[in-house]
Amino acid sequence: MKQQLAPERPDSERTSGQPRGTMVLKMNPTARILNGIEIAAQIKAEVAEEARTLTAGGITPGLAVVLVGHVAASEIYVRSKVKTCAELGLWSEMLTPPENVTTEELLELVAGLNARDEVDGILIQLPLPAHVDTRRLLEAVSPEKDVDGFHPINVGRLQSSASHGIQAGTVLAPCTPAGIMEIMKRSDLPVAGQHAVVLGRSEIVGKPVAMMLLNASATVTVCHSKTVEIERYTREADILVAAIGRPGFVTAEMVKPGATLIDVGINRVTDAAEVARFFPGDEARAAQFAQRGSTLVGDIHPAAFALAGAYTPVPGGVGALTIAMLMKNTVAAAKARRGATKYREVAAAKA
């Protein structure tokens, strides 16, 4: 993405002793940290209560996870999902076909999961081996069990859900964008009428979060790799969502003071010079890097957070919501598919 920063901007100051083009940005000493871990804990507690209610009615929400081959990062992530299911009262099943499995064999596996009534959610862990047709496989999942929200039918439902949709439980939305909206909602941050700028147009985050913000009555601009002078748009953003996978791309000069900054990026930095550039004087980060040989940084340069009205940290921000929203989607699918009436009856009896 092209970064061409203008020499000065209205919210900058230049003293007489400074050359023209030097900016002194006005910092916000009270920038609010949006704690994704705390919000995820709230959601998990609600999911656990809903799962108990469904189980009392004879329905235990179930999630099937398909993990192909042996990818270390995927295995860790899947184990975390399975562990969270157990903690919240959902049952889970992990299927592990070999690396050389064919697309046709996987399609047969998915068809079997679609036919099993006790399976409420099906998750295909990505990435898949290069020889597997990922699109065919994702589209083979029943839309009612598509807890990742990737099926074209669910994408269409999301687009037409401006006034009901998610609120009515008829849409299974992608987990990370749904988590972003939960952060905004539970933090009492305004969305309606705000100018939201989304950096990135991926199917997983950029496009769906743009649609969800639009459904919430924000005015939305989407920027991407072909956007010219991207900072012209970011400086006007009341809400800035960065989801481009480039460490520290959004600098302080690109941010509107007081904006809400949502950092979706999780980038592992392994170069000591880069760590020093992103976290100058941060002894805790330096110690972490010395111990682990790496540290995490988002798509927003940490210095930009000083201008924000509110921001999500990395780690501990948006990333913490993804598994919580997967659990929420699984329970929602169980209620929609086979438990809505029973859920209402049991919930009424408990009230």
**Which alpha helices (DSSP H) does the chain contain, by range?**
36-56, 72-88, 103-115, 134-140, 152-159, 175-186, 206-215, 231-234, 272-278, 283-292, 321-334, 340-350
**Given 148, 238, 263, 299, the catalytic residue:** 148
> Does the annotation mark 263 as catalytic?
no
Distance between terminal CA atoms of the chain? Answer: 54
> Does the annotation mark 145 as catalytic?
no
φ, ψ dihedrals at 33, nearest 5° = -85, 125
Compute the distance between CA of residue 71 and CA of residue 83 in angstroms, rounded to an integer. 18
**Given 81, 145, 207, 256, the catalytic residue:** 81
Compute the distance between CA of residue 266 and CA of residue 181 in angstroms, rounded to an integer. 18
Compute the distance between CA of residue 65 and CA of residue 62 in angstroms, rounded to an integer. 10
137 alpha-carbon distance from chain centroid? 22
DSSP letter for each residue of 290-312: HHHS-EEE-SB-GGGGGG-SEE-
- In three-state secondary structure terms, 177 is helix
> Does the annotation mark 167 as catalytic?
no
- Helices and strands of the chain, counted as H and E runs: 12, 13
**Given 120, 125, 194, 299, the catalytic residue:** 125
Active site residues: 81, 125, 148
